[in-house]
Structure 1
Amino acid sequence: MALETCRTAATDYLDFLAAWVKKPRQTASVVPSSRYLAQLMVRGLDPADGRVMELGGGTGVFTRAILATGLPAEKLEVVEINPGFARSLRRHFPRASILEVPAQSVSSHAAGERGSYQMVVSGLPLLAMDKSLHIAILSEAFAMLRPGGSFVQFTYSVRPPVSKTILDMLDLDVSRVGHTVRNFPPATVFRFTRRSE
């Protein structure tokens, strides 16, 4: 078991490094996220409470953590535009739905209905994106989320990766879930929710 875990970690690292070399702004890190960060990302996810969407599946670190909560794989959709990562995700998680589409247009490809998802778990590098993409991605994510649903995002900063101006424009609140130094670089997780709920 330990040997298999080491092999998976080594493969994930090499795949992530190769993706970063090809498209550094899209991948934004030279190493995949740690399992400690993944555990923070899925805090509060209820495996019996409906569908989950993951944005930026990468090597599957967050995907594994989501499924480890007990969520049925059929209730998970993973969005990944990197073809190599998408192929690997399909191989490792054959019962989850892997969507090879941009995060800002998932609603037209999702299996679940708009407004029915409990959580969107985002591994996207928001700090490397411009404000117009922040608006498009968050708008699409909240169109998929049901009332009371949340958008969970990590960042390598201690501050939220979305400006107060955009939060006000989209009528969103943000709260800090936690921070881990057991990730490279250290990371902070934030939860975004609608203000009106």
Structure 2
Amino acid sequence: MHPKFKRGRAVALESRRTAVGDYLDFLAAWVKKPRQTASVVPSSRYLAQLMVRDLDPADGRVLELGGGTGVFTRAILATGLPAEKLEVVEINPGFARSLRRHFPGASILEVPAQSVSGHAAGERGSYQIVVSGLPLLAMDKALHVAILSEAFAMLQPGGSFVQFTYSLRSPVSQSVLNALDLEVSRVGQTVRNFPPATVFRFTRRGE
């Protein structure tokens, strides 16, 4: 067998093993806390690529909320962003351990998303983007306000909060957007995810 074919086969096999492992980890987390995990399967790489589409590896730091099995984390680092510029928030201890094992250069924070500023390495206003895998549809408006307020305190001028949802509509109500002086735009949708997902980008009005 040609060496290149062997390498390609090994990479494909490792990719399948990772996908199966991610699925089993996600399923176990969903069984324990269905509202916190929200889905029985991890997000697809197609959704991950859509989530990081506007990320500039040469710009500021990046904050990921709800790292899960690391699907978005891989996509973030695949853009060329240095691992030391990435911080991932994950309150599930099992997922957090796995993230530390697979992404040793990134900082994994086991803290609530609404209080991340007290634990993040970067200064407030130094992050270019917040990539969120949080199940916002399972949360109430008060928690939306708390999480978005914290996220935008961390973002630099012109920075954005990127969120996916299994709905065609924004997961954040207009009343919350008005209260925080934010606006939302639709980034895109992928049917190559189960369930199909839509990605939204939140920014400060006028930026």
* TM-score (ref. length: structure 1): 1.00
Unaligned segments of structure 1, at least 5 residues: none
Q: Which residue of 1 aligns with 2:59?
A: 49
Q: 2:130 aligns with which of 120, 125, 143?
A: 120
Report the residue type matching 1:2 in the other structure.
A
Q: Which residue of 2 aligns with 1:91?
A: 101
Q: 2:28 aligns with which of 13, 18, 24?
A: 18
Instruction: Check the 8 A contact 1:77/1:98 in 2, yes or no.
Output: yes
Which deviations, in whole Å up to 9, do the C-alpha atoms of 1:90-114 show, x marking residues without a partner?
0000000000000000000000000
Structure-1 separation of matches of 2:101 and 2:60? 24
Unaligned segments of structure 2, at least 5 residues: 1-10
Q: Which residue of 2 aligns with 1:146?
A: 156
Q: CA deviation at 1:130?
A: 0.6
Q: CA deviation at 1:50?
A: 1.1
Which deviations, in whole Å up to 9, do the C-alpha atoms of 1:162-188 show, x marking residues without a partner?
000000000001000000000000000
Structure-2 separation of matches of 1:100 and 1:81? 5
Which deviations, in whole Å up to 9, do the C-alpha atoms of 1:131-159 show, x marking residues without a partner?
10000000000000010000000000000
Q: Which residue of 2 aligns with 1:5?
A: 15
SS in 1 for 2:80: coil
Q: Which residue of 1 aligns with 2:86?
A: 76
* TM-score (ref. length: structure 2): 0.95
RMSD (Å), alpha carbons: 0.4
Structure-1 separation of matches of 2:141 and 2:28? 27
Structure-2 separation of matches of 1:130 and 1:13? 27
1:175 aligns with 2:185: yes
Report the residue type matching 2:184 in the other structure.
V
1:30 aligns with 2:53: no
Write out the 4+ residue segments of structure 1 that deviate beyond 2 Å after TM superposition.
none
Structure-2 separation of matches of 1:108 and 1:2? 40
Structure-2 separation of matches of 1:186 and 1:119? 23
Structure-2 separation of matches of 1:138 and 1:42? 18
Q: Which residue of 1 aligns with 2:203?
A: 193
Instruction: Check the 8 A contact 1:171/1:196 in 2, yes or no.
Output: no
SS in 2 for 1:136: helix
Aligned residue pair count = 197
Report the residue type matching 2:88 in the other structure.
V
Q: 1:100 aligns with which of 97, 110, 119?
A: 110
Q: CA deviation at 1:196?
A: 3.5
- Percentage of identical aligned residues: 88
Instruction: Check the 8 A contact 1:42/1:65 in 2, yes or no.
Output: yes
